[in-house]
Amino acid sequence: MKAILFAVTAAVSIAATSAQAADFSPAELCKATISVEMGRKTKSMKTVNADPPEISYKRPDGDSFKYRCKIEGDRVVWRTFLTDTREWGRWRENYAGGDAMTTYSVDGVNLRITNDQAHPASFKKSDF
Protein backbone atom coordinates (compact mmCIF):
# COMPACT_ATOMS: atom_id res chain seq x y z
CA MET A 1 0.00 0.00 0.00
CA LYS A 2 2.86 2.39 0.84
CA ALA A 3 4.46 1.66 -2.54
CA ILE A 4 1.21 2.54 -4.35
CA LEU A 5 0.81 5.72 -2.33
CA PHE A 6 4.43 6.69 -3.09
CA ALA A 7 3.93 6.04 -6.84
CA VAL A 8 0.74 8.14 -6.91
CA THR A 9 2.43 10.96 -4.95
CA ALA A 10 5.43 10.90 -7.30
CA ALA A 11 3.18 10.99 -10.38
CA VAL A 12 1.18 13.92 -9.01
CA SER A 13 4.42 15.74 -8.16
CA ILE A 14 5.80 15.22 -11.68
CA ALA A 15 2.52 16.37 -13.26
CA ALA A 16 2.46 19.48 -11.06
CA THR A 17 6.04 20.31 -12.01
CA SER A 18 5.21 19.92 -15.72
CA ALA A 19 2.15 22.14 -15.35
CA GLN A 20 4.20 24.81 -13.57
CA ALA A 21 6.89 24.66 -16.27
CA ALA A 22 4.22 25.21 -18.91
CA ASP A 23 2.87 28.31 -17.19
CA PHE A 24 3.91 31.44 -19.04
CA SER A 25 3.14 34.82 -17.52
CA PRO A 26 1.35 37.55 -19.48
CA ALA A 27 4.68 39.45 -19.59
CA GLU A 28 6.39 36.41 -21.13
CA LEU A 29 3.58 36.10 -23.69
CA CYS A 30 4.09 39.78 -24.47
CA LYS A 31 7.87 39.37 -24.84
CA ALA A 32 7.43 36.37 -27.12
CA THR A 33 4.90 38.26 -29.26
CA ILE A 34 7.16 41.31 -29.61
CA SER A 35 10.09 39.00 -30.33
CA VAL A 36 8.22 37.53 -33.30
CA GLU A 37 6.80 40.87 -34.42
CA MET A 38 9.98 42.96 -34.11
CA GLY A 39 12.71 40.34 -34.49
CA ARG A 40 14.22 40.99 -31.04
CA LYS A 41 15.55 38.41 -28.58
CA THR A 42 13.33 37.90 -25.54
CA LYS A 43 16.31 38.08 -23.17
CA SER A 44 17.05 41.60 -24.42
CA MET A 45 13.66 42.75 -23.08
CA LYS A 46 12.77 43.96 -19.62
CA THR A 47 9.42 43.72 -17.87
CA VAL A 48 8.42 47.28 -16.95
CA ASN A 49 5.02 46.34 -15.54
CA ALA A 50 3.31 43.00 -14.99
CA ASP A 51 -0.31 44.21 -15.10
CA PRO A 52 -0.95 45.24 -17.78
CA PRO A 53 2.05 43.52 -19.36
CA GLU A 54 4.51 46.19 -20.44
CA ILE A 55 7.94 45.45 -21.78
CA SER A 56 10.83 47.48 -23.13
CA TYR A 57 14.11 47.02 -24.94
CA LYS A 58 16.96 49.17 -26.15
CA ARG A 59 18.56 48.68 -29.56
CA PRO A 60 22.34 48.82 -29.95
CA ASP A 61 21.94 52.27 -31.59
CA GLY A 62 20.47 53.56 -28.30
CA ASP A 63 16.81 53.83 -29.38
CA SER A 64 14.38 52.53 -26.75
CA PHE A 65 10.98 50.97 -27.33
CA LYS A 66 8.07 50.19 -25.01
CA TYR A 67 5.08 47.92 -25.66
CA ARG A 68 1.91 46.93 -23.83
CA CYS A 69 0.00 43.75 -24.45
CA LYS A 70 -3.40 42.37 -23.66
CA ILE A 71 -4.27 38.71 -23.72
CA GLU A 72 -7.68 37.84 -25.16
CA GLY A 73 -8.25 34.10 -25.12
CA ASP A 74 -5.41 32.65 -27.19
CA ARG A 75 -4.69 36.00 -28.86
CA VAL A 76 -2.02 38.52 -27.89
CA VAL A 77 -2.66 42.13 -28.94
CA TRP A 78 -0.01 44.82 -28.57
CA ARG A 79 0.54 48.54 -28.88
CA THR A 80 3.62 50.73 -28.70
CA PHE A 81 4.48 53.87 -26.80
CA LEU A 82 4.88 56.81 -29.18
CA THR A 83 7.83 58.84 -27.93
CA ASP A 84 7.03 61.87 -30.10
CA THR A 85 3.54 62.38 -28.65
CA ARG A 86 4.26 60.68 -25.28
CA GLU A 87 1.08 58.58 -25.71
CA TRP A 88 0.25 54.93 -26.24
CA GLY A 89 -0.53 54.05 -29.84
CA ARG A 90 -3.50 52.05 -31.02
CA TRP A 91 -4.02 48.38 -30.25
CA ARG A 92 -2.90 46.26 -33.23
CA GLU A 93 -6.22 44.47 -33.71
CA ASN A 94 -7.49 45.85 -37.00
CA TYR A 95 -7.01 42.55 -38.82
CA ALA A 96 -9.16 43.53 -41.78
CA GLY A 97 -6.99 46.64 -42.12
CA GLY A 98 -3.73 44.69 -42.24
CA ASP A 99 -2.66 44.19 -38.62
CA ALA A 100 -1.06 40.81 -37.99
CA MET A 101 -3.01 38.39 -35.80
CA THR A 102 -0.87 36.77 -33.14
CA THR A 103 -1.98 33.70 -31.21
CA TYR A 104 -0.25 31.47 -28.71
CA SER A 105 -0.47 27.89 -27.52
CA VAL A 106 1.35 25.90 -24.86
CA ASP A 107 2.32 22.30 -25.53
CA GLY A 108 4.05 20.74 -22.54
CA VAL A 109 6.85 23.16 -21.72
CA ASN A 110 6.84 24.92 -25.10
CA LEU A 111 5.18 28.22 -25.88
CA ARG A 112 4.36 28.63 -29.56
CA ILE A 113 3.65 32.05 -31.02
CA THR A 114 1.91 32.10 -34.39
CA ASN A 115 1.70 35.33 -36.34
CA ASP A 116 -0.24 35.29 -39.61
CA GLN A 117 2.37 37.56 -41.25
CA ALA A 118 5.60 36.03 -39.89
CA HIS A 119 7.14 32.64 -39.18
CA PRO A 120 5.92 30.95 -35.99
CA ALA A 121 8.36 30.64 -33.10
CA SER A 122 8.68 28.40 -30.06
CA PHE A 123 9.95 29.43 -26.64
CA LYS A 124 10.86 27.71 -23.39
CA LYS A 125 10.96 29.20 -19.90
CA SER A 126 14.75 29.47 -20.23
CA ASP A 127 14.26 31.95 -23.11
CA PHE A 128 13.00 34.52 -20.65
The 10s digit of each residue's pLDDT in 16-28 is 333 433 589 999 9
Q: How many Cβ atoms are within 10 Å of 34's Cβ, its own excluded? A: 25
Low-confidence ranges of the chain (pLDDT < 50): 1-21
What is the full DSSP assignment across 54-121? EEEEE-TTS-EEEEEEEEETTEEEEEEEETTTTEE---S--GGGTPPPEEEEEETTEEEEEETTS--E
pLDDT for residue 22: 52
Question: Computed over its alpha carbons, how large is the radius of gyration of the chain?
Answer: 18
Q: How far is CA 9 from CA 16, 17, 18, 19, in A?
A: 10, 12, 14, 15
Give the model's pLDDT for residue 108: 86
So what's the pLDDT on residue 17? 32
